[in-house]
Amino acid sequence: MADLPQTIIAHQGLCLSFSDKLVQLLCGLLKTTKQHDKTFVTINCRSPSYSVESGGYRPQEFGFIVKSSKFVPLYVTEFTYVGGSYCPELVKALDFDFQSGVFHNEYGTVPLEQMDDMFQIWQQNFLSYFALGVYDVTISTT
C-alpha cells in the first residue's frame, strides 16, 4: 500500500495563531482520509446530544482549500440554535473567516486580527471538548 502524502495545515502567515495541539488534531483527522486530490475539505464536529431544548456542545465546522497538497484554512465556525422551541434555527455563533479577513458574531463584524484572544479561548474550549469525546466527526469534500 502506497504511503499517503504528509498532511500539512498551512496556517503560518494567517493573522490568528493556531495552537500546535489544534494543528495536530486537524492533521490527524485529515490523514485518515484521501483528501489530497480534492479542492475543498470540510470537517464537521457535532455532538449528537446538542439540541435547542437541552443545549450542549455546539457544532463546529472547519473549511479548507487544498493547494499543492496543503490544507489552507478558510474558516472556523461555531454554530448555535436561535429562535426557541417554536422555530429553532442553527446559525453561526462565531465565524473566523480567514478568506475574508473578518470575524462575525451576533454583535457584528470586526477585522480578524483583532480576535486572536477570542480564537485562543475558542481553541482551548474546542480541544477540551474534543478530548472528552463529545463530537461525532464527518469529513466531506468537493
- Predicted confidence at residue 36, as pLDDT, reads 57
Residues 6 or more apart whose Cβ sits within 8 Å of residue 65: 39, 40, 71, 72, 74
pLDDT single digits (tens) 68-107 = 888 999 999 999 999 877 889 999 999 999 999 999 999 9
- Predicted confidence at residue 34, as pLDDT, reads 67
* pTM, two decimal places: 0.91
For residue 61, the cross-strand partners are: 44, 77
C-alpha–C-alpha distance, residues 50 and 40, integer Å: 27
- Tell me the pLDDT of the chain averaged across its residues: 91
- Predicted confidence at residue 38, as pLDDT, reads 72
Q: Is the pLDDT of residue 1 over 80?
A: no
